[in-house]
Amino acid sequence: MADIKSLARDERQALADFLATLSPSQWDVRTLCTEWTVRQLVAHVVSYEDLDRRALVRRFAEGRFLPGKINAVGVAEAGGLEPDELLAKLRMCVDPRGFTTGLGGRIALVDGMIHHQDIRRPLGLPREIPAERLLPALSFAMKAPPIRAFWRARGLRLVATDLDWSSGRGPEVRGAGEAIMMAAAGRRGVVGELTGPGQPTLARRLGG
């Protein structure tokens, strides 16, 4: 099996190749990160790549150490770039560097995969994520504090129906691995794709 950094690179390459197919109007569509368009979300993805440790601390301070505000600082800095400029920056950092190399590249893998789906789903352009990428992303997403999946899934057993993967104990929530990951990451419109006795609990925690 490939190492995590290689999987993260493959996921970013897939995202870049997909973005290259979008029309100008599709870059202005709202994503599952509802405050951001495709253009703004890609700006977020690339905004951490050129930061050294000092610049990263400065950004955290500017965002008052609140994740939403920290991300907004990065989007404000890169959000004015045109789609071709954003795509060029993404292609330059297909190999993760800086902050996103953390935890062996798992930050880059999960961040890239979730945001890839944040863009594809509203556009109605699904894909089949290779299992070798989705399995480690699912497992890390359940533990990563910024995603808060562990809180949403507490007391539930999540079971992927298309992968050999499960997590937790309690009433089952079943569905495709991608849908489980996205719902656990807080994407409200996805929970309806899941089934099982624990599904209403997860839906309630998502506000839907």
User: What domains are there in the chain, each with its CATH number?
Assistant: 4-123 (1.20.120.450), 131-205 (3.30.1050)
Integer CA distances (angstroms), 169 to 89, 107, 172, in order: 42, 25, 8
The helix (run of H) or strand (run of E) holding residue 47 is none
Give the mean pLDDT of the chain. Answer: 89
pLDDT above 60 for 112 = yes
Binned at pLDDT 50, 70 and 90, residue 87 comes out as very high
Helix (H), strand (E) at residue 167:
strand 166-167
Six token digits for residue 109: 């893998």
How many Cα atoms occupy the beta-carbon half-sphere of 51 within 13 Å?
21
| Closest-CA residue to 181 (of 104, 113, 96, 100) | 113
User: If pLDDT is split at 50, 70 and 90, which confidence band does 52 have?
Assistant: low
Model confidence at 1, pLDDT cuts 50, 70, 90, reads: very low
Q: What is the pLDDT of residues 131-148, one digit of tens each?
A: 999 999 999 999 998 899
How far is it, in rounded angstroms, from Cα 193 to Cα 199?
Answer: 9
Nearest-Å Rg of the Cα atoms of the chain is: 17
Number of H helices, E strands in the chain: 10, 3
Q: Which residue has the higher pLDDT, 130 or 75?
A: 130
- Work out the number of other CB atoms within 10 angstroms of the CB of residue 59: 19
